[in-house]
Structure 1
Amino acid sequence: MSESDSDERSREMDDPQDNDDAVEQFSHLSIGEIEEAHDEHLGRLEKILSGHSLSYKDFGLLKEILFVTVIAMAQFLTQAGLAQAIAPLHYIGNSFNVTNAGELSWFAASYSLTVGTFILPAGRFGDLFGSRKIFIIGWAWFALWTLIAGFAVYCSSQILFHFCRALQGIGPAMLLPNGLALLGRSYPSGTMRKNMVFCVFGAVAPIGFLVGAVFDGIFAQFVWWPWTYWVGAMIMALIFVLAIVVVPIELDKHAITNFHFEDIKRLDPFGSVAGVLGLVLFNIAWNQGPVVGWTTPYTYVLLILGVLFFISFGIIEFKYTDYPILPMEYITTDTLFVAGCISLGWASFGIWIYYWWQISEMLRDHSILLTAAQQVPAGISGGCAAILTGYLLGKMRPQIIMIFALTAFCVGNILMGTVPIHQLYWFQTFFSMWIMPLGMDMSFPSATIIMSNAMPREHQGLAASLVNTVVNYSVSIGLGIAGTVESRINRTGDELLKGYRSAYYVAIGLSGAGIILAFLGTLESFHEDRVKARLSSQEGIEELERSGETYEKEGA
């Protein structure tokens, strides 16, 4: 741009008549219309800067609803898949002649283990080959292994069922990060619409578990428990077809089209293998310890090997790869804060939901359907929390919302950890059902949006991967820690209540530590803002001083 053009542009911007015309132009618009115009402007700007040619504005309302629904169903059915082992737990155990509490917990933990472990590699595959492709493949995989898990009942050993559940969990590991990456690429950062869409994604989690538990109860009590897997596979197959039709192929515009041998390095194979092995071995040790006892040599050997693979992963990512699966430049104070809060909160949630079902079925002698019915308030509360969070994210800093979330996790566990067995449902249990989903649906959207906004569009799969890895892996490892404590307290198997309460005390401790971390993170964010404001003020003063000196020279 020439100097004359620049001067002309400056005069146009400074023309008060133009400013008055602009004010008059927008004065008739409502606040909602102005926000929508702002969102549309941000969407166009991001498309120009990133090179992407598609956003939610190009969908049309009906297709946008279908698009969001298909992606939200990934979260819905992931949680329904968790319910497939928790709700009919003792029916499944009877089929395989399993009664040991530690071994029963593996039916749920094996699934959460692989969901959490394989999310990061799946997110990298999506960033490289296209999130849409991996998302669609994920539905096919999820459907296949859900179907096979149902047929595992014909095998006399529970090992095959554990194996099928673990492979079933790889399906959600492909769906969750790539589904969120598709949302992240379709909605501009910092807009109310993006906040609400991500909150919808989080809101369906408790609803998915509730609906899954209801149908699990129906099939287990009145038909046969494998039917919950076979019917689930049919639903997943239908969504697989719908995803092919609804998810725009243009969202994979950034993906590589011709794969070469050199591209293998971009998958960070050595780092991925080290990370996966570390997560798997560390988790197996914690979940197998309550089953065979920590005095069994291979449990602590697996634990040590897991730690060594974690160290190897860190060394590889820092020094020996050009394409780290977890780029260190994104490991900031904010991301560590989010990971810490999410891991502590969701580990306590896994303990809360698992041991609530044990108390209800084993100590209160409730049926699956009655137990599921008692969780209806959780679904309602989760939906309300998601809407509230979408609103609050535009009004306050996410760190404060995280304090509310961790407080909800802690209070929900305190209520269930101290509930008298013969107390009416409408006292502590009822309020726990209302409070606990606040933690889930305030923490997950907040964390996802923080990560999504902190990373470029080409790494949206990584942003979603980090949150989902921590969420799902924490559920599994939390069950292992709680199971270890329970097995040490209830050694003879005759003190169920004492063992269950000890597990809840673990959950209370975890969520309490999360509250402390959330407070520290909030204080740190306030401190950073004050430092930035001070620096900005100093820079402004210096700029004014320089402008004054220039003016004096020109006057002279």
Structure 2
Amino acid sequence: QALCILRLIGSDLGATNPGQLVWPIAGYGLTGTFILLAGRLGDVYGHKLIFLVGNAWFALFSLVAGLSIYAPRPYAVFLFARIMQGLGPALIVPNAVALLGVTYVPGQRKAMLFAIFGAMAPASAIISPAFTSLLALAWWPYAFFALSLLLIFTTLIGALIIPNELSPEKCKTSSGGIKALCTELDIAGALTGVSGLILISVSWNQASVKGWQNPCIPGLLISGALLCVSFIFVEKYASKPLIPLEAVNSGVFFVLSAVFCGWGCFGIYIYYIWGFYEVLRGAPPLLATAMHSPILVSGIAAAITTGIIIHRVGPAVVMALALLAFTIGTTLIATAPIHQTYWTQTFLCNLIITWGMDLSFPAATLMLSDLVSSEHQGIAASLVTTVVNYSGALALGVAGTVEIHVNNGGATPEDILKGYRGACVAIGLGIIGLVLCSIFAWKFSKRQKKATQN
């Protein structure tokens, strides 16, 4: 929502530095690190309740984002609201997936349903900017006010329509006191893991503003790394860990690494292509949305195709195709000249890269489902969703740092384009992910053949 009018917002709030403009997008994705804890909250308190709380939270801070223009320090308030907004989807997504998961039995219908769920990403990537751009013609805060009203409506309808759940864990922990609840939620693991990931991402994103010569930046990075190491030790001895270490084998590591590369690549693409539309080609938000619209049709086609082929060719092959789409799409936009016609590289990029998005999520979820035991199935889906959200935030920080160092201050369109192309380290991420997928597809197919023979 904010991405299509980001330059307009930045202009009104006094934030025009590229490093500052990255933060409202990266900060929103940063709170994806709470997804694992959100899934656990759903297990304890019921997925319906946490889903509704997530929508209400999202509505509240969407309202705050719109009202930030009246604040004495509007950019700081807007950035705070964006970060808090991100907690809403972090609560919504894993619990929405869980609600769908318990509603349908495994099979072709369920696979197609999750493919359609994946198609909501490209659909919202067009519908939301279209309405946002229209409302921004009057005043950009109206877009956040409208989103807040929509989310309140969704919360009320969800409370009436979604069937109530019975969570045995809720009854079990309600009489155990605070200590039992902290154990059930693995608060120590959540604090160390989430804090570590946040500090690592903050260090890279803030480096594009302050520079690595600022001693605080490497300090944040080292602190984040130490907290992540602490998280491993906490999980090793936790009675109910957020991520059971026995569930993380080499196959899981391969899959999550590929997901990180693919969605990190996509996070860089989605941020910089809007800059390409609006800054380099001078398109207003509504025209830029029209330029971006092929991803809607392509995304729906990709989602339906995924639901049809994933059980025929296998998720490992589908995942490799997804990384190929990410790599080709990013390469096309990274090498596009400013004044080239839209209907060549830019159009093809939007058609192709959407397939990476819609092929990768269901493929990764199914692969992890096959790689972990039955009691860790919920962990598998949460891990994929966490990596999808976090990778974009971290990759944007790396890309922003590279952009600042190669764009010569961004004084001319040529310098801005040079910075954008330098930021397309996404191509490298795509290639690394493609190599990982190819290796894993080979190993996964051998494993399946051996299982079939046995």
TM-score norm. by structure 1 comes to 0.78
Is the aligned partner of 1:443 residue 2:357?
Answer: no
Measure how far apart 1:452 and its partner are: 4.7
- 5+ unaligned residues in a row in structure 2: which ranges? none
User: In structure 2, what is the Cα distance between the partners aligned to 1:475 and 1:207?
Assistant: 19
Quick one: which amino acid aligns to residue 218 of structure 2? Y
Quick one: which amino acid aligns to residue 284 of structure 1? V
- Matching of residues 386-425 of structure 1 within 5 Å: 386-425=303-342
User: In structure 1, what is the Cα distance between the partners aligned to 2:99 and 2:40?
Assistant: 13
Q: 159, 169, 178: which is aligned to 1:244?
A: 159
- Matching of residues 266-415 of structure 1 within 5 Å: 266-318=184-236, 320-415=237-332
User: In structure 2, what is the Cα distance between the partners aligned to 1:265 and 1:110?
Assistant: 29
Quick one: which amino acid aligns to residue 263 of structure 1? L
How many residues are treated as equivalent by the alignment?
A: 446
User: Per the alignment, do residues 385 and 339 of structure 1 end up closer, same or farther by CA in structure 2, a change over 3 Å counting?
Assistant: same
User: Per the alignment, do residues 360 and 419 of structure 1 end up closer, same or farther by CA in structure 2, a change over 3 Å counting?
Assistant: same
Measure how far apart 1:530 and its partner are: 4.3
Measure how far apart 1:531 and its partner are: 4.0
- Matching of residues 6-17 of structure 1 within 5 Å: none
Is the aligned partner of 1:501 residue 2:416?
Answer: no
Measure how far apart 1:266 and its partner are: 1.3
User: In structure 2, what is the Cα distance between the partners aligned to 1:148 and 1:458?
Assistant: 40
Is the aligned partner of 1:180 residue 2:97?
Answer: yes
Is the aligned partner of 1:525 residue 2:444?
Answer: yes
Measure how far apart 1:457 and its partner are: 7.4
Measure how far apart 1:333 and its partner are: 3.3
User: In structure 2, what is the Cα distance between the partners aligned to 1:143 and 1:459?
Assistant: 32
Q: 138, 145, 149: which is aligned to 1:230?
A: 145
Q: 101, 119, 141: which is aligned to 2:57?
A: 141
User: Per the alignment, do residues 347 and 231 of structure 1 end up closer, same or farther by CA in structure 2, a change over 3 Å counting?
Assistant: same
User: In structure 2, what is the Cα distance between the partners aligned to 1:160 and 1:120?
Assistant: 27
Corresponding position of 1:483? 400
User: In structure 2, what is the Cα distance between the partners aligned to 1:127 and 1:308?
Assistant: 29
Quick one: which amino acid aligns to residue 518 of structure 1? C
User: In structure 2, what is the Cα distance between the partners aligned to 1:240 and 1:463?
Assistant: 27
**8 Å Cα contact 2:44/2:167 also seen in 1:** no
Q: 189, 198, 204: which is aligned to 2:114?
A: 198
Secondary structure at 1:249 match in 2: coil
Measure how far apart 1:527 and its partner are: 2.6
Measure how far apart 1:492 and its partner are: 2.1
Residues 433-463 of structure 1: per-residue CA shift (max 9 Å, x gap): 1101000000012122334566677755433
Aligned-residue identity in percent: 41
**8 Å Cα contact 2:45/2:167 also seen in 1:** no
Quick one: which amino acid aligns to residue 429 of structure 2? L
Residues 253-288 of structure 1: per-residue CA shift (max 9 Å, x gap): 444225122232111111110001101111100100
Corresponding position of 1:86? 3
Secondary structure at 2:53 match in 1: helix
User: In structure 1, what is the Cα distance between the partners aligned to 2:323 and 2:315?
Assistant: 12
Measure how far apart 1:485 and its partner are: 0.6
User: In structure 2, what is the Cα distance between the partners aligned to 1:463 and 1:185?
Assistant: 15
Corresponding position of 1:467? 384
Corresponding position of 1:38? none
Quick one: which amino acid aligns to residue 420 of structure 1? P
**8 Å Cα contact 2:26/2:396 also seen in 1:** yes
- Matching of residues 65-76 of structure 1 within 5 Å: none
User: In structure 1, what is the Cα distance between the partners aligned to 2:247 and 2:34?
Assistant: 19
**8 Å Cα contact 1:134/1:175 also seen in 2:** yes
Measure how far apart 1:472 and its partner are: 0.7
**Superposition RMSD in Å:** 1.6
Measure how far apart 1:376 and its partner are: 1.3
Q: 131, 139, 159: which is aligned to 2:47?
A: 131
Quick one: which amino acid aligns to residue 446 of structure 2? H
Secondary structure at 1:339 match in 2: helix
User: Per the alignment, do residues 177 and 513 of structure 1 end up closer, same or farther by CA in structure 2, a change over 3 Å counting?
Assistant: same
**8 Å Cα contact 1:180/1:461 also seen in 2:** no
User: In structure 1, what is the Cα distance between the partners aligned to 2:54 and 2:369?
Assistant: 21
Is the aligned partner of 1:213 residue 2:129?
Answer: yes
TM-score norm. by structure 2 comes to 0.95
Secondary structure at 2:311 match in 1: coil
User: In structure 2, what is the Cα distance between the partners aligned to 1:104 and 1:281?
Assistant: 19
Residues 120-145 of structure 1: per-residue CA shift (max 9 Å, x gap): 11111112221111111111111111
User: In structure 2, what is the Cα distance between the partners aligned to 1:268 and 1:393?
Assistant: 35
Q: Determine which structure has more spread, i.e. the larger CA radius of gyration.
A: 1
